[in-house]
Chains A and B, each alone.
Chain A
Amino acid sequence: MRVPLSWLREYVDLPADATGRDVQEKLIGVGLEVETVEQLGKGLTGPLVVGKVLTIEELTEFKKPIRFCTVDVGQANGTGEPQEIICGARNFAEGDKVVVALPGAVLPGDFRIAERKTYGKVSRGMICSSDELDMGEDGTKGIIVLPPEHEVGTDATKLLELYDEVLDIAVTPDRGYCLSMRGVAREAATAYGLPLRDPALLDVPAPNSFGHPVQISDPRGCDRFTARTVVGLQPEARSPIWLQRRLQKAGMRPISLAVDVTNYVMLELGQPLHAYDRSLIEGPIGVRRAEAGEKFTTLDGVERVLDAEDLVITDNRGPIGLAGVMGGANTEIADPEVDPETGLAQGTTEVVIEAAHFDQLSIARTARRHKLSSEASKRFERGVDPKAASAAAQRTVDLLVLLAGGTAEGGVTEVIAPFAPHTISIPADHPDKVAGVEYGRETVVRRLQEVGCDVYGQDELVVTVPSWRPDLTDPNDLAEEVIRLEGYENLPSTLPKPPAGLGLTDRQRLHRRVGRVLAGAGYVEALNYPFIGSQVFDQLQLEQDDPARRVVKLVNPLSDEEPALRTTLLPGLLQALRRNDGRGSHDLALFETGLVFHPAVSSSGRGTAVRLPVDRRPTDEELAGLNSVLPVQPRHAAVVLAGAREQAGWWGKGRPADWADAVEAARAVGREAGVELLIDQGQYGPWHPGRCAELSVVIDGVKTLAGHAGELHPRVVKALGLPARTCAMELNLDLVEQAVDGTLQAPRISTFPVATQDVALIVDKEVPAAAVEHFLRGGAGELLEDIRLFDVYTGDQVGEGKKSLAFALRFRAADRTLTVEEASAARDAAVAKAAEITGAVLRGA
């Protein structure tokens, strides 16, 4: 809502020296979001005067037609002689009154007016357009032609009210009444503690039966309809300058007198109005719901197919207006047309004024359905004062009579559905309790009265809310009114004392630790969008029946290419990897932890969530039902790597990232969780078939697959345009968390000497090192403190299809120094076990 300060002063006697900034501050204090204060006429200085065009000489020798004019500016130029001015515009004639900027004037944009030679003449000033004076939209883009009654030489800055300040207020959806001068004036009056001159307090004639007939068939959709008729309008009458200027400052475009007046009254009182050309209405006006599929052309020339929920205004022929949103082309007020032969204006001479009140929700839906947000619908959606309708109709009639020479007909139609004012009971100290401030009953009552409430009662207040505040429905609404008027800035700052908390949960700690351990290992976190397209599953070489292909789809994705939610973190991470690579960072290690989404496995087969009631707690069954249709949303951790894992440098060669780094990232996550990660040779779509580790955890004794790690499949690398040998790991963190088995038991530390024994075992190439180690460990018994694989050898010395694995075994006893014989016996037992199960042969034996 744009509020010209000069207009606001009409309703409140603001201090004469109060600037727009001052008023802004006061209004912000009572809770209006005044976003800006626009300074109109900034950079404009006169002389700027009314002139009368005496002669026009058309200069035709130039590329474009140019006019050399003489203009009578009275004594404003000091001589009284006609002012000679060159002008390129053509929308004025000899005898017209125009606005003249005389030499010395400065127009907005530091445009200095001076005598100058141009087009072979001396031009002494400028005939101004509304653009040049920064006046806002007037629809002409041409020279301002003033009504003839204004005297030459008059100061045009005053006549056109060029100096003003405009407050631009962002009105929140609950404060619809502030979409009017009346509403903002009420807030300003309260903020300054001054009386309000309420423009809606008008004498209104009682309704009678001779007005234009109105039939309402949906009183819930339309609970009030006032119709008034004005006849004998002069079609040539134009809106006076003051009215046009107020509309312009408020951001609306002057159109024609009848339309301008309805817009003006809407801005003033907040009541949207509509003027119908009575000669075009056939029969009584009706209000009903549209028939589904009914067609109707609105004022903007768009034919609309109506919905059965749309409210329409009708006459005998059908719809003439989309109620509360926009009028119809079929009853539009005609723009006056001047007959070139007679010089007489033709146009609308009789109008029916509609001031009605429509259901908020219905208007909101219609406006949304037809993507048609108008000044009227904006107000009805947020709530219009139903009691302002008759006053608004009266104000419109008065202005039309005054400005267009019309006559008000005696008929006054008012259809009003029964209406009970809304009352709320609150303890007098309710606002105090909400705020934590002792305002006291007196203050509470006074503030509520300033809002427009009627307040009765002592300790228990019965508050009748004003008709323009449909948003005030609950006790806390009233508390807010009191607190905001007393000033949010005056609230004290107190700290509540929560009970002692338990800190982070184990799960929350784990999620943080996983991030830290991966970052500590050189991975950089990327937070990727979860949107994917199904083509990525082909690129990742997933089987057609892979569960990861079952996705949660969006109804309204941002991009049709990516209509689903991720079931794996890889697509997003790999895209980030590719983006970094494309930007010149080639040695990359990225990680992400985040949710993936799998469709709910619903036993009921239901795939929608019901809207539970809100007037009570839902039952546990209802909540369970709601949760059961939500997707399963586990948290995953993933890494991707490419380029060098270790850089080359003065210390020596670098080392490319490889499958082992990816597997180690998984191990690191497992270590942080205190969970042993079981690594098996595996094969899974995205990964190189020979370089893919299956990652498993044991949950309640059951080995459960939790992810994969390794080098990506060359075809995946190619399909996704990744750097060669890109590696990746993905792990279901929820499963890892479930595998956590109690608290870590501290190891016992023996201080007896260590006995070390190395063994090299030859096994078939296919035998996993982890298996050999596992059985060595098992065979060695409890004397084994640690085992470490320190070399892997393949080659001539061990033969085709074989490999040699070299392990260092450390033995130690808790209670004594081991003898060489004891250590050797334990080693032999370890080797025997590994030999028995994996076919390992001691090298050199």
Chain B
Amino acid sequence: MKPEEIERMRDEALAAFAAAGDLDALQAAKVAHTGGTSPLALANREIGALPPQAKAEAGKRIGQARGAVSKALAARQTELEAERDARVLVEEAVDVTLPYDRVPAGARHPLTTMMERVADVFVSMGYEIAEGPEVEAEWFNFDALNFVPDHPARQTQDTFFVQGTREDGKPTVDDESGIVLRTHTSPVQARALLSRELPVYIVCPGRVYRTDELDATHTPVFHQIELLAIDEGLTMSDLKGTLDHMVQALFGADMKTRLRPNYFPFTEPSAEMDMLCYVCRGESVGNEERPCRTCSSEGWIELGGCGMVNPRVLTACGVDPEKYSGFAFGFGIERMLMFRHNVEDMRDMVEGDVRFTRPFGMEI
């Protein structure tokens, strides 16, 4: 077996691999030059018949040749695979800008998520969420909250009354039933005080009703969130601090609130609470160059009412006003949504138009 023969076989194999233009051709060349009937394989088989010395030499030569062939095959294989990959992946390219709205996203209503967001600020502080019925006894909605029997809010002009049944079986008229659609979330305060252990730290988000016709700024069905804290030694400064914390959590670290004296039956002292306008931070006041439409250049945004829980409310709910005191506040979620997200028309929050709600997504 001549060395030149073996070199020729090797070179023919290398040439065949190099000449293979694709993986199929390479496969054919592979079978021809490395398969069981390839010249090198046949030569290898002949080694056994050689005399010992020639055997060793031929074995070495053939081994080297086969090594070179298999290396070249692997290299060419890698080369051709890379070529194929490059071609195929280019062919498989797509337009990734194509839209995919096969099942359009759903969304929760921003009023729902806004209520949750506010409630969660307080839940993280240790408050719990309390709930109550929307159709409520007048006693919870008004009496227990120190509304005098003739308070104007108790009229059918402002409050929805539910039709009850008189002793004689006839339906009640006017306010006779003593059952109303709750006009605020405050009755939940009374329910919480009557049913929970002291101290009580709760927030009550929910739906409330007043007899306003729907227009751009009013809706007969709206949402409030109410806070109540009753403990020993709570003060109006605690109320102020709690409000400050809330607006900071919702609107940013440098936010603050302002209290202005006001009157509510269920709190004494009572206050109207404003928050610094989170858009202009008060800088639009008196600055005609930079008017602010969020706060009408007032610098402050009216949030709602608050105060120290009237001791009469505590008495009606069986809490000793000598020992316990506390504070409460409440505000409208619609209003907050309006100024926080620049909603201009109340009806957009009421009508359930998917174009309004969808962008708000899952959380707010």
- Residues on A lying within 8 angstroms of B by beta carbon are 28, 30-31, 33, 172-175, 361, 364-365, 368, 433-437, 474-477, 479-480, 483-484, 488-489, 491-505, 508, 512, 515-516, 518-530, 552-558, 565, 573, 576, 579-580, 583, 585, 587-591, 594-595, 597, 605-618, 623, 626-627, 629-631, 633, 645-647, 649-651, 654
Contact = CB atoms under 8 A, between A and B. Distances in A.
Nearest to B120: A504
B134 A595 contact: yes
Interface in B231-276: 231, 233-238, 240-242, 244-245, 256, 258-263, 268-272
Nearest to B317: A617
Contact of B162 (A525, A554, A610): A554
Given A476-B311, A609-B177, A527 B112 contact: yes
B139 A521 contact: no
Given A364-B150, A515-B108, A525-B107, A580 B352 contact: yes
Contact of A609 (B139, B244, B311, B318): B139
B106 A552 contact: no
Contacts of B270: 480
B351 A579 contact: yes
Nearest to B326: A496
A617 B162 contact: no
B362 A368 contact: no
Contact of A555 (B105, B143, B177): B177
Contact of B107 (A474, A519, A576): A519
A527 B294 CA distance: 25
Interface in B74-117: 98-109, 111-112, 116
Interface string B173-210: 11111110100000000000010000101000001000
Contacts of A526: 109, 352, 357
A630 B237 contact: no
A646 B98 CA distance: 16
A410 to B, nearest CB: 41
Given A526-B109, A555-B172, A495 B238 contact: yes
Contacts of B127: 498, 501
A494 B177 CA distance: 43
Contacts of B297: none
A552 B316 contact: no
Contact of B263 (A175, A521, A525, A588): A175
A529 B236 contact: no
Interface in B48-76: none
B355 A585 contact: yes
Nearest to A577: B352
A531 B96 CA distance: 48
B135 interface: yes
Contacts of A529: 220-221, 350
Nearest to B111: A527
A556 B101 contact: no
Given A436-B235, A489-B258, A493-B241, A649 B100 contact: yes
A545 to B, nearest CB: 20
B336 interface: no
A614 B126 contact: no
Given A555-B163, A556-B161, A519 B176 contact: no
Given A480-B268, A494-B241, A525-B108, A651 B102 contact: yes
Contacts, number: 310
A554 B160 contact: yes
B156 interface: yes
A626 B137 contact: yes
Given A499-B126, A524-B106, A646-B102, 4 more contacts: A434-B235, A488-B259, A609-B178, A616-B316
Contacts of A515: 108, 112
Interface of B: 98-109, 111-112, 116, 123, 125-129, 131, 133-140, 143-144, 146, 148-150, 152, 155-156, 160-167, 171-179, 181, 194, 199, 201, 207, 211, 213, 220-221, 229, 231, 233-238, 240-242, 244-245, 256, 258-263, 268-272, 308, 310-312, 315-318, 325, 349-355, 357-358, 361-362
Closest 3 CB pairs of A and B: A607-B165, A617-B318, A31-B261
B106 A556 contact: no
A528 B352 contact: yes
Contacts of A611: 138-139, 143, 149, 178
Nearest to A631: B135
A611 B238 CA distance: 33
Nearest to B157: A556
A496 B234 CA distance: 7
Contacts of A606: 165, 167
B240 A491 contact: yes
A573 B131 CA distance: 24
B106 A589 contact: yes
8 contacts: A30-B261, A434-B308, A475-B311, A489-B258, A555-B175, A555-B177, A580-B354, A647-B101
A428 to B, nearest CB: 16
A346 to B, nearest CB: 43
Contacts of A30: 261
A614 B316 CA distance: 4
Contacts of A476: 268-269, 308, 310-311
Contacts of A650: 98
Contacts of A627: 137
B259 A504 contact: no
Contacts of A520: 106, 362
A554 B361 CA distance: 35
B358 A524 contact: yes
A500 B126 contact: yes
A552 B256 CA distance: 44
A734 B325 CA distance: 35
Nearest to B319: A617
A302 B179 CA distance: 35
B107 A524 contact: yes
